[in-house]
Amino acid sequence: MTPWVTRLLLLNVVVYFLTAPVREAVFPLFGWIPAYGLFRPWTIITYQFLHANFLHLLFNMIGLFFFGPRLENKVGGRHFLGLYLVSGIVGGLLSVFTPFALIVGASGAVFGVLLGFARYYPDERIFLWGVLPIRARVLVIGLAVISVWAGIQGGGNVAHFAHLGGFVGGWAYLKILERNSGAERFKRQLEKAQAPSRPSGQNLERWRAVDSGRLHPLNREEYERIMGKVDRTGAASLTVQERAFLERMSAS
């Protein structure tokens, strides 16, 4: 168990048992009703920690327990909490299609966690009901399709648009996180600094003039791979990193 998964599990469980005896009084004050969101903005957060019944709580916490720790280790505690809350918020906002529904539960947040898990571990096998194996990305796609279809059909007492919003919020959070990561910024700066528009004939002559026999075996293998790619698909198909490698080899 990781720190934020543990805290969120405990918080949801404690809130459930504290509010269960007074649910009828608590839900109208702290549950999310999209049409009244501007007048009760705190409910976009508080609704995520309320649950209609024990099974509702149990299934959400099982999802958080199984998918949360690995994702938290991957992105870090601060970003895991951010993804969790943002997914729940977007889930609430997307429920605007059911404007007067009273929505409670961590489902949107947990669906965001599932989306994050599937993004980084798409081929991880998940056993539905402990029996049926399914890959994480297939599960997310399937749940998204079900959420759209059931939401359009009316879906009963299940907040399908909140589930779908959880996926949207999780995806958006991770895209922004990855876009602003140090590694991604460095990659963009490197590409900007190194990338010529197209390799010239002089580039090709210089690259072909490299004596591969004098290269270290690892460099020779990479050089031959890249030059083979040039022969098959042309120099324009090379990546920035491949061009930079050839430049280094021709200058040595």
Residue 91, token pair as written in the block: 């889930």
**Which residues are registered as beta bridge partners of 126?**
134
Strand ranges (E), the chain: 125-128, 132-135
d(CA 24, CA 19): 9
Dist CA 42 CA 151 (whole Å): 25
How far apart, in Å, are the Cα atoms of 216 and each of 203, 212, 252? 22, 8, 12
- Could you tell me if 155 and 103 are in contact, meaning their C-beta atoms sit under 8 angstroms apart? no
Tell me if 88 sits within 8 A of 169, measured CB to CB: yes
Any idea how long the chain is? 252
Q: What positions carry a catalytic annotation? A: 107, 163
Q: Residues near 36 by Cβ (< 8 Å), separated by ≥ 6?
A: 43
